[in-house]
Amino acid sequence: MPIADVTTYVLKLAGRQAYLGKLEDGTELSEDRGYVVREPWRSLYSGRFETMLVRITTDDGTVGWGEALAPVAPEVTAAIVDRMLGPWLTGREVTGVRPLWNGLRDLMRERGHLVGHQADALAAVDIALWDLYGKLVGLPVARLLGGAVRDHIPAYVSGLARPTDPERAALAADWESQGATMVKLAAGKGIAADLATFDAVAAAAPSMKIAVDAHWAYRIGEAVELGQELDRRGALFFEAPLVPEDVAGHAELATRCTTPVAVGEALRNRYEFADWLGRRALRLAQPDVARTGITEAMSIVEVCSAHHVPVACHHSVGLGVSLAAGVHVSAASTDTPFFEYQPDTIPVAQRILRAPLPAGPTGFGLPTGPGLGIDVDADLVATLAKEN
């Protein structure tokens, strides 16, 4: 079946609050403020939930949907699809995903083909091709990947987006009362501050396992000190402790604390993960399927398996398409202890779907329909794209 059309949609949606809540000074990150660096972290953030969707349609009208993780400037990934990937795909037969993925990868092979915005755009198209192919053959993506190991993926609640420790502790206790068993703190605000938040949450929700995301904030000495304190507290994992290019520093940290060092959202391909794994620089891999695509995500899963490292897919501001893709990859992966549940993202993510994904603070259900098993409201997506 030949591909007739490849269309992109840039979406910038308002949520009940900005991703990760208020800024450190207590002000709102409003949707009309533009991109802002969230101090003390270094990266740009938006007051809206921004993303780029791809719709691939065959001659018979079958549609597949994909999504790139594009929290800022989704227009960049859309331009790559519109100008390079989409025109190459149009008219080609869908006999499977990997032959098309190989061709798409090689279009820019000597020009950053598996990293940065190029990889993000390829990820969106790859997800759409898996959704499309699954619908053409009448099988869920997890079946196409070899079969689901599980149909329910446990979740950890991510963020506790409140400005003070008492408020974070109260929110954690509320999640605990709803059955949540794991929570991740948005940390990286100084060793003393991070430990104070950890201890407040632990006191308020004593049955919950607690992870810490440092948002790449620390130097090696600080990370070791914090990591060893987390060891004493039995932390679930220690995410993004150092700047993302410091592989050697992460390797050193991993030998000096027992809390698993978690890395992956900044990585986009098996070669990057193989380097980190070969240097023993991570103990929990966190690829984001909306940055890797499904094809490359499964290659990453196999590389991690060869190093006996579990995979827990990252998820931040992606909508229902990327969420479904991550759930299918998690279901088809042998060593997947949990998946990230973003309380502020999920309602926005479900908005573009005609029927919601089974998602809650205790975990995610695996969609059973063909392809990704979701029904995207195409008319709503087109309307929302025009509002930008």
List, for residues 223-265, the tens digit of each pLDDT value.
999 999 999 999 999 999 999 999 999 999 999 999 999 999 9
Domain range holding 119? 3-138+378-386
What SS3 state is found at 58?
strand
CATH number, domain containing residue 73: 3.30.390.10
The per-residue pLDDT for 55 is: 98
Domain co-membership, 187 together with 300: yes
Domain co-membership, 152 together with 57: no
- The identity of residue 203, as a single letter, is A
Domain co-membership, 57 together with 132: yes
Q: Are 186 and 198 in contact (CB under 8 A)?
A: no
CA–CA distance, 228 with 186 (Å, rounded to integer): 18
The per-residue pLDDT for 121 is: 97
CA–CA distance, 112 with 3 (Å, rounded to integer): 26
Domain co-membership, 328 together with 192: yes
Domain co-membership, 96 together with 237: no
pLDDT averaged over the chain?
A: 96
The per-residue pLDDT for 21 is: 83
pTM: 0.96
The list of the chain residues with pLDDT below 50 reads none
In a domain, 372, yes or no: no
- Domain tally, the chain: 2
Domain co-membership, 183 together with 72: no
Q: How many other C-beta atoms are found inside a 10 Å radius of the C-beta of residue 187?
A: 25
157-171 residues labelled b (16+ CB within 10 A) or e (exposed): bbbbbbeebeebbbb
Domain co-membership, 109 together with 188: no
List, for residues 7-54, the tens digit of each pLDDT value.
999 999 999 888 888 888 788 887 777 898 988 888 888 999 999 999
| Peptide bond connecting 40 to the previous residue in cis, omega within 30 degrees of 0 | yes
Domain co-membership, 134 together with 148: no
Domain co-membership, 83 together with 223: no
Task: Identify which of 200, 89, 141, 112 has the alpha carbon closest to the alpha carbon of residue 370.
Answer: 141
Domain co-membership, 300 together with 324: yes
Percent of the chain with pLDDT over 90: 90
Place of tokens 């308002």: 14
The per-residue pLDDT for 26 is: 80
The per-residue pLDDT for 126 is: 98
